[in-house]
Structure 1
C-alpha cells in the first residue's frame, strides 16, 4: 500500500511546501499594514511547511512513474491538502472562522467557485483579502494543469478528446510535462499581469487591481467588497468581461499563439461555440432589459454582457442583483449556470465541448433514423471522434444531473428551501459561486447555512472541480482492489 501512496505523498509534500512559501506574501502585507495577521500566517506556514518536509523526507526516491490509480489519488489528495492548508490562516486570523467556515471559504477559493461565508469583506485586513485572491489564482493554475495533463490521460468525461503527448506520466515524459507546465504558468501570469495593468490604468487602486485580476483570470470571483463589481463603472466592467472571456478559453491555444501568433486559434470549434453562445445570450438578455425598462440601451448591454460572461465562465462576479430583473432573467441565469467555459480553461461547469458533442451525437442519431443503412461519423475540429469519447461525454452529462439531484435532496434535508437547495447544488457543482434567491443569491452569502449544508457544498465543489469521476472513483471497491 505504501508503494501505491509513496509518489502521491511525495508530490503532496512539495505542494505543502509551495503553500507554506505562498503564505509569506500575505504575511509581509500584514507586516507592512501593521495588522495582526502576520502571526496567523506564520503559524500556518510553519504547520504546512513541517508537513511538507515530513512527506518529502519520508517518500523521496525510487521510481516516479505515476499510474492511473496514483493519478486519481494525487488529484484528490492534492486538492484536499490545498483546501485544508488554505483554511489555516482563516482559522487563526482576524476572521475567526470556525473550522467548517474556514474550510468552506478555502474550498470555494481553491476550486475557483467564489461562494463566501464572509460579510463586510471591505473591512477585512489586506493580508486576508490577498490570501483569498491567491487561493483562487493558484486554484485556477491547478485547474488548467489538471485539464491539460491529467484528465485526458485518465479519460474522464470525454477529456481524451484533448489528449496530447504531454498527457503521459511515465518517467520519460516528465521533462516534456515540465516544459508544458512552464509554458502554462508563463501564459497564465502574462494574462494576469495584463489584467492588473488594465484595471489599474482605468482607475482601480493597485491592491484592488492585483486581487481582482487574480479573481478574474482564475474565474474565481472573490472581490474585496460586499458589492462585488457593483461599485465600478461601465469601463471597468468591460475590462472584466474581456479577461473573464480570456480565462474561459483553452490556455493551450495561448501557448500556440505566443509560439506562432495567428488568429487561427479562433477557428477552434470549442472557441467558436463558446463565443457564439456568450454573444447570443448577451443579446437576448440586453433586449429583455431594454424591453422591461430596467436599463438604458448601453447600460443594458454592459450589465447583460458582464453578468452573462461572469456566470458562463463560472467567475461569479456580480454588478447588480440580477434576481431583481424579472422571472425571465432568473430562469436564464439558472440555465446559463450549467454551461461553463472551454476545456483547458479555468472555468467550471459542464464545458462547451460536451454540449457540442451531445448535439452532434443527437444529429447523428436522427440521420441514422432517416437513413438506417447509412454510415455516419462525428467530426470535431476536423477530426473524427471515436465512439468511446462520445459515450464518455454523454455518460458524464448523465452523471452530472444525477449528482445534482442527489446534492439537492441532501441540502433539502438540512432545512433549506427548494430554490436554495437546487441552485446551491448547481452553483457548487459548476463552481459558479452565487446561487439564486434571498439567501445565496448575488446579494447574499452562505454564512447562514448549517454546518452540514456547508460540508455537503464543499464536497460538491470538489466534485465539480475534479470532473466528478476523478473523485467518485476512489470511493468504489474496484479501485482499491487494483
Structure 2
C-alpha cells in the first residue's frame, strides 16, 4: 500500500473514532437520566470507536504530504463518514426509523440544515434530543475545522482542508500564522457565542435544557428544536428577539467576531461591505414582509406583523429554519420569498448556508459591468469589494460557482419531480436541502417523512453538496481528478 493511501486511512480512522465520540455526552446524559437510550448509544459508539482506533493505529506511521486534491477527498470523506456513523444512534434508538431516514437526520444535523424526518419531538428521550442538537453544534463550525484544531498530529497539510471546508469566495486569509491555531481561535469564538446564547435563552424564559439545546442550534444557524412547534412552543417575543440576535451573529463572518474580541473594537464590522449589504438586505426584506402581512390581514396589528416578519426573515436569510407561526400558509409571494432568501444566505466565513452575500454582490456587480460595457465598449469598469478591486480570477470563479450552484439545484428539482413529487414540494425541498435551510413547502412544510428512499438519499447528498459549497464534492466526479 502506498504512503498516500496509508496516510488517508490514518486520517479516516481518526475521524471515525472522533465521530463516535460525538455520542459520548449524550450517553452520559442518558445514564444520568436513566433513559432507554443508554444501550443504543453504547452499541453505536463502541464498535465505531474500536474500528476507527484500530485503523488509525495500524497506519499511525504512514506520513505523506497530501496535495490539494487529497484535501478534497479527505474533506468529503470526513463528512460522509461522520454522517453514516452518527446516524446509527437514531437507527438503534428509534425502531420505526429506517437507516435511510437515520442518515438523513444525521446529515441534516451535521450540515446544519435542520430538515427532519422525526415527529413527536416533545415525547422523545431528552438525551436523544440533546444528541440531535449536538450534531448541529459540531457541524456549525465544521467537523473538519474541529479535526484541524484538535488533531495537528494528523500532519496532512491542514491548509488544504481549511480551504476545502471554509465558506466564501476568498479562502486564503488566516487569522493566525498556523492553520491549527486559526481553527482553535474560531472554535473559541464559537463556544463563547454558544455560552452567551444559552444564558440569554435561560434568562429569557426557557428552562436550562431547552436553552442549551437551542443555543447549539442557533449560533450554528441550524434550526433543530426540542419541540415540534419550534419557537411557536413559547410564543414569546423576548425569546424570539434573542434568537434573532444570535442567528444574525451566527450569519456574520467569524473572523470579524475574532477581530472584534481581539482588538475590543467594532471597526472591522463597520468596514465590511459584505456585512453592510447583509444588514441592508435584512432591513428591506423585514419591512416588505411586515407591510405585506399587515395589509393582508394575515396577522393582526403592525407590531405583531413586524415581530413575525423579523423572526421568519432572519431565520430564512441566515438559513437557520426556525419557525414561530410558520410561513407556508402566508399569503401571496411570501412563502416563495422565504425559500428564495436562503439562496443568498449569510456572510462568508459564517455558519450560514446559501451562496453567501459576497458572491451575490460580485455577481450583481459583474452583471451591471456587462451592461455598462455595452453602452461604453471602450471604457474599463472594475468589480470592487470594500473599495478594493477584485481580481478577474475571483470574479470568474464566483460566476462559475453561481452557475454550477443553480445547475445543481435544477437537476435536483428535476430528479425529485421524476420521483413523483409535485413541483412545489420538489422546488422547496431541493432549495431547503441544498441551501441548508430546513423547512420547505407542500409535503415537506413540517417534515420529510413522506419522501421515498431515493429522494431521501438524494437530499442527503444535496445537504452535503451545499454544506461543502459544491466544488468540494462535485470535483470528485471529474474523471481527470482521479488521474495522476
TM-score between both structures, scaled by the size of structure 1: 0.93
Deviation at 1:82, TM superposition (A): 0.8
- Cα 1:123–1:396 change in 2 (3 A) is same
- Cα 1:243–1:49 change in 2 (3 A) is same
Is contact 2:30–2:36 with CA below 8 Å preserved after alignment? yes
- 1:170 match: none
| 1:259-298 aligned within 5 A | 259-266=262-269, 267-295=271-299, 296-298=301-303
Determine helix, strand or coil for the equivalent of 1:16.
helix
Farther off after superposition, 228-237 or 136-145: 136-145
C-alpha distance in 1 between matches for 2:166 and 2:143: 14
Deviation at 1:144, TM superposition (A): 8.8
Is contact 1:15–1:52 with CA below 8 Å preserved after alignment? yes
Determine helix, strand or coil for the equivalent of 2:233.
coil
Deviation at 1:63, TM superposition (A): 3.6
- Cα 1:228–1:142 change in 2 (3 A) is same
Deviation at 1:436, TM superposition (A): 1.1
Farther off after superposition, 189-198 or 257-266: 257-266
Determine helix, strand or coil for the equivalent of 1:246.
helix
Farther off after superposition, 329-338 or 266-275: 329-338
Farther off after superposition, 74-83 or 17-26: 17-26
- 1:208 match: 210
Say how many residue pairs are matched. Answer: 471
Farther off after superposition, 141-150 or 199-208: 141-150
Is contact 1:158–1:389 with CA below 8 Å preserved after alignment? no
Q: 1:349 aligns with which of 347, 354, 366?
A: 354
Is contact 1:143–1:346 with CA below 8 Å preserved after alignment? no
| 1:197-236 aligned within 5 A | 197-232=199-234, 233-236=236-239
Deviation at 1:153, TM superposition (A): 4.0
- Cα 1:365–1:123 change in 2 (3 A) is same
- Cα 1:93–1:152 change in 2 (3 A) is closer
Is contact 2:113–2:463 with CA below 8 Å preserved after alignment? yes
Farther off after superposition, 206-215 or 378-387: 378-387
Is contact 2:174–2:182 with CA below 8 Å preserved after alignment? no
C-alpha distance in 1 between matches for 2:175 and 2:478: 28
Deviation at 1:449, TM superposition (A): 1.1
Deviation at 1:48, TM superposition (A): 1.9
- Cα 1:348–1:51 change in 2 (3 A) is same
For the pair 1:251 / 2:251, whether they are aligned, the reply is no
Is contact 2:3–2:63 with CA below 8 Å preserved after alignment? no
Is contact 2:69–2:481 with CA below 8 Å preserved after alignment? yes
| 1:441-460 aligned within 5 A | 441=445, 444-460=446-462
C-alpha distance in 2 between matches for 1:386 and 1:372: 20
| 1:99-110 aligned within 5 A | 99-110=99-110
- Cα 1:88–1:156 change in 2 (3 A) is closer
Deviation at 1:11, TM superposition (A): 2.5
Determine helix, strand or coil for the equivalent of 2:14.
helix
- Cα 1:64–1:25 change in 2 (3 A) is same
Farther off after superposition, 428-437 or 135-144: 135-144
For the pair 1:164 / 2:173, whether they are aligned, the reply is yes
- 2:34 match: 34
Farther off after superposition, 31-40 or 94-103: 94-103
- 2:49 match: 49
Once superposed, what is the RMSD of the aligned Cα atoms? 2.1
C-alpha distance in 2 between matches for 1:3 and 1:323: 53
For the pair 1:430 / 2:435, whether they are aligned, the reply is yes
- 2:444 match: 440
C-alpha distance in 2 between matches for 1:312 and 1:158: 16
- Cα 1:152–1:105 change in 2 (3 A) is closer
- Cα 1:309–1:129 change in 2 (3 A) is same
Q: 1:241 aligns with which of 239, 244, 268?
A: 244
Which stretches in structure 1 are left out of the alignment for 5+ residues? 168-172
Determine helix, strand or coil for the equivalent of 1:323.
coil
For the pair 1:325 / 2:330, whether they are aligned, the reply is yes
Is contact 2:117–2:448 with CA below 8 Å preserved after alignment? yes
- 1:476 match: 478
- Cα 1:158–1:183 change in 2 (3 A) is closer
